[in-house]
């Protein structure tokens, strides 16, 4: 099986909702909740915060320590390089990619995706190849070898900023798998990019969170069934807007990495 390392990318300097990873939810920073939820995974061996070397991101180190995560600091813009070097430093055989703006990340969904990867013959598997889970429950699992291949080959800015874009853009070079929910829930928005998203997540936590315990996707779905008005809080925001912006601004960024 090898060592399974969850790498959480985070930085303070987000553009749409500044300092969003520091925003308080139920008395703790958003980033802390991501770590707290990942700790409940049964298949992750280690959780690592991959942040930048910028001074302002030093404040994330204490949150990582409190959340039981190790830390790697690297490039701000070349997130693929940051991931590869973090995976190398912590000797990952299998990498689980999680973003810090997903405070509802579900350890059961994470484990189901990891298990599918381990049981199959894949280089990469995720629940975003064909989105059927709520936006904000994204899980990507890939081998260290696939990450290294992407790190060496990716030359477009969009593929350096978005860690797995190169892999998904080259399906002939990688064995790619998809984890899909029996019901298509991709229209639900549980990620945090805007103030409305933050309000939605805070309302969910207000109703479901108890200190020392976490809740799961099924609990949120039950809540939204009983209180459908909550869905209206952040309805109508486009999915993957950040990636779409990167594609609009895409450019070649020089030679691929070879060492």
pTM of this structure: 0.92
In tens, the pLDDT along 71-82 reads 999 999 999 999
Neighbours of 209 (CB within 10 A): 16
For residue 217, the number of C-alpha atoms closer than 13 Å in the C-beta half-sphere is 23
In Å, how far are 43, 96, 192 from 117, measured between CA atoms?
A: 11, 10, 27
% of the chain exceeding 90 in pLDDT: 85
Among residues 144, 40, 130, which one has the least CA distance to residue 84? 144
Average pLDDT across the chain, whole number: 92
pLDDT at 244 over 60: no
Domain boundaries, the chain: 4-248
In tens, the pLDDT along 118-172 reads 999 999 999 999 999 999 999 999 999 999 999 999 999 999 998 999 999 999 9
For residue 55, the number of C-alpha atoms closer than 13 Å in the C-beta half-sphere is 0
Provide the CATH topology of domain 4-248.
Spore Coat Polysaccharide Biosynthesis Protein SpsA; Chain A (3.90.550)
Distance, in Å, from the CA atom of 203 to the CA atom of 164, rounded to the nearest integer, reads 31
Q: What is the mean pLDDT of residues 165-181?
A: 97
Task: Report the 3 state secondary structure along 115-132.
Answer: HHHHHCCCCEEECCCCCC
């Amino acid at each position: 099986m090898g060592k399974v390392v969850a790498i959480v990318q985070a930085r303070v300097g987000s553009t749409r909702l500044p300092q969003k990873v520091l925003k308080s939810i139920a008395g703790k920073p958003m980033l802390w909740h991501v770590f707290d939820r990942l700790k409940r995974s049964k298949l992750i061996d280690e959780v690592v915060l991959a942040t930048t070397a910028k001074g302002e991101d030093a404040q994330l180190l204490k949150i990582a320590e409190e959340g039981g995560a190790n830390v790697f600091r690297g490039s701000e813009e070349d997130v693929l390089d940051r991931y590869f070097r973090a995976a190398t430093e912590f000797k990952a055989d299998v990498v689980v990619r999680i973003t810090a703006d997903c405070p509802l990340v579900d350890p059961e969904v994470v484990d189901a995706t990891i298990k599918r990867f381990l049981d199959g013959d894949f280089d990469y598997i995720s629940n975003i190849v064909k989105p059927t889970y709520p936006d904000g429950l994204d899980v990507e699992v890939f081998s260290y070898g696939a990450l290294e291949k992407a790190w060496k080959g990716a030359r477009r800015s969009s593929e350096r900023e978005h860690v797995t874009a190169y892999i998904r853009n080259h399906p002939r070079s990688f064995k790619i798998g998809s984890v899909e929910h029996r019901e298509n829930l991709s229209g639900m928005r549980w990620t945090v990019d805007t103030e409305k998203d933050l309000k939605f997540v805070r309302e969910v936590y207000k109703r479901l969170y108890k200190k020392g315990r976490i809740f799961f996707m099924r609990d949120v779905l039950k809540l939204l069934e009983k209180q459908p008005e909550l869905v209206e809080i952040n309805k109508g925001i486009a999915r993957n807007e950040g990636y779409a912006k990167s594609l609009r601004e895409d450019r070649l960024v020089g030679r691929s990495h070879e060492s």
